[in-house]
Copies of this chain bind each other. A is one copy, B any other.
């Protein structure tokens, strides 16, 4: 419906730009302002402005937001060199592993302490909701600061991809344990892991072999925007493949960015153009819609019904648990604290876990009640909101600060 579409675009874009501008005025990352603008827009129906309530559930808004985060990770993948990522491979693997295990243990302990009458499975399940990092926020902050290609940035990005595979594993195991069959749990876990690894390995190896040839063929087609469209189609195809392999679509979009490293866009595009430059108008439109929508989904009345103590406990476990990640860094000269901060945000995966907990039964009772669910939502919200300022503070340490409060080295490609 064209009316809803236009209202949604106007409200989301104005909220994003005002929120972003306000945040930057206070020396904060734009993404923090976009998130808070989303929370504000989401609260308008509570103040009687019910006309906008459709924004939270509109499939078109969801689609635009999904496209936004896919484009963001595609851009981040484009500015990443596979060789650089390989150099920090061990660090990324260890960071991911520590970052899944430690928060799970801390979360389970918090659960055992605050919900002493619940079965042990519920405690472990609560811990599992803390396992997976959501890389969107960190990717955006790194990109806005021009820090994607720092070793810290590369470690966090690599760890986030590995972390996503591990999250799948944890999910398979939790579902299997609730069902109660040990053999099928083990089998499911193996299948899930193999599928994910085949996708990542296959897309990178095959993609890097095929991409230059496919693009050389594509460039021979006539028409407006053929090469640019082919690059976007690559991102969409790999995002779809990742989704079908059970991974997050953004992992596929990031892989697409890595795959296109070998394509000589300088020769294929008209003089003076670059793929990165062509993506800016698209992403400056769609990426903020993703973050405003993320803020929009914060359910303030739902939060009020949660256990404040459980929410606080889980949040502390989530933040402290990921700080252990720094210990996994084996490369020299890397700021371990920045890596730990970059791993803090939880997102979709944590919410998916929590949502499943509402539906799943263990011993005849739901694994999570609405209060526990709200506590997980609060944890996701706080970890999302604290990361941009913390990461910006840590990563601008020692950077010369320009007169307007912007760190030097920030991207010059604003429009």
Residue tally, chain A, CB below 8 Å to B: 56
Q: Do the beta carbons of B284 and A282 come within 8 Å of each other?
A: no
A412 and chain B: residue at smallest CB distance: B270
A14 in contact with B233 (CB, 8 Å): yes
Chain A 223-246 interface residues, beta-carbon cutoff 8 Å to B = 223-230, 232-233, 236-237, 239-240, 243-244
Assembled-state Cα–Cα distance A28/B353 (Å): 53
Q: Tell me if A66 and B281 are in contact (CB < 8 A).
A: no
Interface string of A180-215 (1 = CB under 8 A from B): 000000000000000000000000000000000000
Cα distance A9–B223 in the bound complex, in angstroms: 18
User: In the complex this chain forms, how many copies of it are found?
Assistant: 2
5 contacts between A and B (CB under 8 A): A2-B66, A5-B67, A225-B284, A278-B281, A281-B281
- Is B223 a contact partner of A6 (Cβ separation < 8 A)? no
The interface of chain A, by Cβ under 8 A from chain B, is 1-3, 5-7, 9-10, 13-14, 16-18, 20-21, 24-25, 30, 59-60, 63-64, 66-67, 144, 221-230, 232-233, 236-237, 239-240, 243-244, 249, 269-270, 273, 278-282, 284-285, 414-415
Give the chain B neighbours of A229 by CB distance below 8 A: 13, 16-17, 284-285
Q: Is the CB of B59 within 8 A of A13?
A: no
Of all chain B residues, the one with the shortest Cβ separation from A248 is: B2
Q: Which of A25, A60, A282 gathers the greatest number of chain B CB atoms within 10 Å?
A: A60
